[in-house]
Amino acid sequence: MKQKVKDLLKILAIYIIAMFAAVITLKYVPINDILWKTALADFVAMVIVFIFSVRYKNSSVYDPYWSAAPVIIVIYWLFNSGQTDFYYKIIWGLIVIWGTRLTWNWILRWDGMEDEDWRYVNIKKKTGKFYWLASFFGIHLIPTALVFMGLVPIYYMFNSTAISPTSWFAVIAVLFILGAIYLEKTADDTLRIHIKSGRSSTERLQRNVWAIIKYPNYAGEVLFWWGLYFVAIVVDLSLWWTIFGPASITLLFVFVSVPIMKKRLANKSYN
């Protein structure tokens, strides 16, 4: 068995343990508010993943959490809300498509426990003995909190007393999410082919959607979260205040992810 397969099985086992810990939290912690109970379960699962990140000395153990956790969280909310309308099932289905594709993209590019995201390696160099403290807050906790906030519009949509939409706005919102997923997929596929070709160190990627949009993979991800917000306010316009969810994720990409990538590209020499 190849080492990568063995390491992926380790990741699977870690996430099963994390999910089990989350389920135990949901079942036994005496919190009546489902949103806050889910937030605690999400935190517990994240801590389990962090423990294994420390165990394997690799913060990339956390990477699939961004795309895996929302799938589980939203199906729990959907069943708990008692909603049976097909529209809500479509929304969950879109989240499954997004999460599965993003996780698969990570699987394709990850080379095993010896492979750690270059951004984490840089943080490790800068923080030294305080790295795991920085990793807990910056790499594990903050992204977990931001993703949870991004899902808040969906929670309130599921629990809204408003009637499920039948207007064209609902269709447009769903198509918006599909478009965001497709944009991110196209960008990721093009980038992966570019890296595999061996040209990434000598040639800046300027093909396909990369020739039109700067950082289209990031753009697709941000648009996906705005899409979730749009489908929520289509159901119930009074949920406009949940805009802090997609706005927070947008700020993460605009002020953290994009500048880090710009700095990395600026340090490269292209022919």
Q: How many domains does the chain have?
A: 1
- Token pair 């927070």: residue: 248
Q: Residue 29: which domain range? A: 3-266
Residue type, 216: P
213 lies in a domain? yes
Task: State the Cα–Cα distance between residues 59 and 49, nearest whole angstrom.
Answer: 9
Residue 211 lies in a domain: yes
153 lies in some domain: yes
d(CA 142, CA 250): 14
Pair of tokens at residue 123: 């943080």
Does any domain span residue 271?
A: no
* pTM of the model as a whole: 0.95
The 10 Å Cβ neighbour count of residue 3 is 11
Q: What is the pLDDT along the chain (271 residues), one digit of tens a residue?
A: 689 999 999 999 999 999 999 999 999 999 999 999 999 999 999 999 999 999 999 999 999 999 999 999 999 999 999 988 889 999 999 999 999 999 999 999 999 999 999 999 999 999 999 999 999 999 999 999 999 999 999 999 999 988 777 688 999 999 999 999 999 999 999 999 888 876 665 567 778 899 899 899 999 999 999 999 999 999 999 999 999 999 999 999 999 999 999 888 777 654 4
Does any domain span residue 240?
yes
Structural domain contains residue 30 = yes
d(CA 23, CA 7): 24
